[in-house]
Amino acid sequence: MTLNRRLFLGSGAAVAASLAAPAVHAAGHGLPRVVVVGGGAGGATAARYIAKDAAGEIDVTLIEPTRTYYTCFFSNLYLGGFRTLDSIAHDYATLASAYGINVVHDWATGVDRDAKTVALAGGGSVPYDRLILSPGIDFVDGAVPGWDLSAQDVMPHAYKAGTQTALLKAQIEAMPEGGTFVMVAPPNPFRCPPGPYERVSMVAHVLKARNPTAKILIADPKESFSKQGLFEEGWQKHYPGMITRIGPDFGGGNVTVNPATMEVDIDGELVKADVCNVIPAQKAGHVCAAAGLTEGNWAPVSGHTMQSRLDENVHVLGDATDQGDMPKSGFSANSQAKVAAMAVRGALTGSRVFPAKFSNTCWSLIDTDDGVKVGASYAATDEKIAKTDGFVSQTGEDAALRKATYEESIGWYEGITSDMFG
């Protein structure tokens, strides 16, 4: 069945019909081929689930440039000294050896949707019958005047974990006595809504022990932020007088930076920063736009299958998507990957496809054993992925509950990384 854009956007029945019978893949190449771009919480999970549940029926290739993957989730805990860098590092050996996935360490630079091929930076291309894109985020050019990627070694973003995270940690630990840490927070929507504020908590945790007269300043373009009451309560309890947030009413949305002088101009007021963490506005990883699958900054998808609303042979996952109510998080990407994997198996092998259901929880650590969380369940409608119920930690909770919440997050981390990498 060929879907035009109007039909595909408007009809859940059309989506179901497109998955009702196995697709006929191009003659002469044996098994149907699935290519997954991006080896994070979405891509690695999707590749693993397709390979394990359709063993011998589908050829799976995973394209991921890095040989060692550092999870963005829990990278703030590394900044705070609660994790080592090695503890958030993972490789793809088990996906290759135990699941037979073809792991290609290269950059995907483009997609020819007519020829059904993915171009590689190293040359050549990889053919597919179904394509899954899970490239994460890139940054919007010019989002913070004075900053671009050439400045990331001076004013790191550390919003793609690994060397950037290690750099930011070293800068924090080298701050002069009584120095100033400045964060330029991003506008909505962005990866991990509580992430910048957990990061502030972890920086404060380090400075409280190493540099207690240091100050933290947040320039924030948003009126409010995720778990705001919980973070502000925790900051007052654990780090009184250390953290100041400047919201849009006081110029937090009018920020220019100068990496050469380490100055931050907040609505005309110059601040000298000893460390400046710039987290710019975000957009879908570049391969989505290169494939012509974005509208604005994000890739629109159907929640029933995570299929692109612009190409039924492509599924898009995680942070890169415009899907509805789910936050951009590792848990969300992992949940969406399982829906996409089931849909792809159904399309290529005729296996049964069940109605899509999703879940997400985001944990944050404020200080030692002071963990909080927010989460929800979701269901697919023809319009979007819609929230069906939710929960959030409450202010004033006792220490035992907060410690249990933190310990819950540790168990979740071990579970999701096993689910991703085997």
Nearest to 66 by CA among 81, 82, 88: 88
Q: How many CB atoms lie within 10 A of CB 141?
A: 10
Domain end position, chosen among 330, 356, 382: 356
Instruction: Count CA atoms closer than 13 A to 216's CA, side-chain side.
Output: 28
pLDDT at 55: 85
Are 103 and 154 found together in one domain?
Answer: no
The domain tally of the chain equals 2
Q: Is residue 184 part of a domain?
A: yes
Domain boundary among 356, 378, 405: 356
The 3 state secondary structure assigned to 188-221 is CCCECCCHHHHHHHHHHHHHHHHCCCCEEEEECC
* 15 has a pLDDT exceeding 50: no
Task: Give the rounded distance of the alpha carbon of 233 from its chain centre.
Answer: 26
Domain identity same for 271 and 170: yes
CA distances for 300 relative to 174, 249, 253, angstroms? 43, 32, 27
Q: What pLDDT does 395 receive?
A: 98
The pLDDT tens digits of the residues spanning 119-143 come to 999 999 999 999 999 999 999 999 9
Cα of first residue to Cα of last residue in the chain, in angstroms, is 35
Task: Tell me, yes or no, whether 388 lies in a domain.
Answer: no
Q: Based on the fold, state whether residues 203 and 177 are members of the same structural domain.
A: yes
- Tens-place pLDDT, residues 251-295: 999 999 999 999 999 999 999 999 999 999 999 999 999 999 999
- Are 215 and 298 found together in one domain? no
pTM above 0.85, yes or no: yes
Q: What are phi and psi of 329, to 5 degrees?
A: -150, 165
Residue 389 domain flag? no
**Which of helix, strand or coil describes residue 49?**
helix
State whether 294 and 246 are in the same domain. Answer: no
Q: Mean pLDDT over residues 133-161, rounded?
A: 98
Strand-pairing partners, residue 390, are 376
Are 191 and 101 part of one and the same domain? no
CA geometry: angle at 332 spanning 59 and 91, to 5°? 50
228 shares its domain with 346: no
What's the domain range around 113? Answer: 5-138+282-356
Exposure b/e, 197-216, CB count within 10 A at least 16 = b: bbbbbbbbbbbeeebeebbb
Q: Do 237 and 341 reside in the same domain of the chain?
A: no
Q: How far is Cα 2 from Cα 11, in angstroms, rounded to an integer? A: 13
Residue 374: inside a domain, yes or no? no
Residues 230 and 336 in one domain: no
Enumerate residues 6+ apart whose C-beta is below 8 A from 212: none
Task: Please check whether residues 87 and 123 belong to one and the same domain.
Answer: yes
Assess contact for 275 and 181: CB atoms under 8 A: yes
Quick check: is 387 in a domain? Answer: no
Reported as a single tens digit per residue, the pLDDT across 176-232 is: 999 999 999 999 999 999 999 999 999 999 999 999 999 999 999 999 999 999 999
In a domain, 92, yes or no: yes
Structure tokens at 323: 């899907």
Tell me the pLDDT tens digit for each residue of 301-345.
999 999 999 999 999 999 999 999 999 999 999 999 999 999 999
Asked if residue 175 belongs to a domain, the reply is yes
Q: What dihedral do alpha carbons 23, 26, 27, 28 form, nearest 10°?
A: -130
Give me the helix-helix angle, 195-210 and 228-238, nearest 10°: 0
- Per residue in 393-403, pLDDT (tens digit) is 999 999 999 99
**Cα separation of 137 and 192, whole Å?**
11
Q: What is the pLDDT of residues 334-351, one digit of tens each?
A: 999 999 999 999 999 999
- Among 321, 356, 391, the domain boundary falls at 356
Establish if 376 belongs to a structural domain.
no
Q: What percent of the chain has pLDDT over 70?
A: 93
32 and 127 in one domain?
yes
- Tell me: do 219 and 154 sit in the same domain: yes
> pLDDT value at position 29?
62
In CATH, what number is assigned to the domain containing residue 113? 3.50.50.60
Long-range contacts of 18-27 (CB under 8 A, 24+ apart): 18/307, 18/312, 18/347, 19/305, 19/343, 19/346, 19/347, 19/353, 21/350, 22/347, 22/348, 22/349, 22/350, 23/129, 23/130, 23/347, 23/348, 25/129, 25/348, 26/116, 26/127, 26/129
pLDDT of residue 341: 98
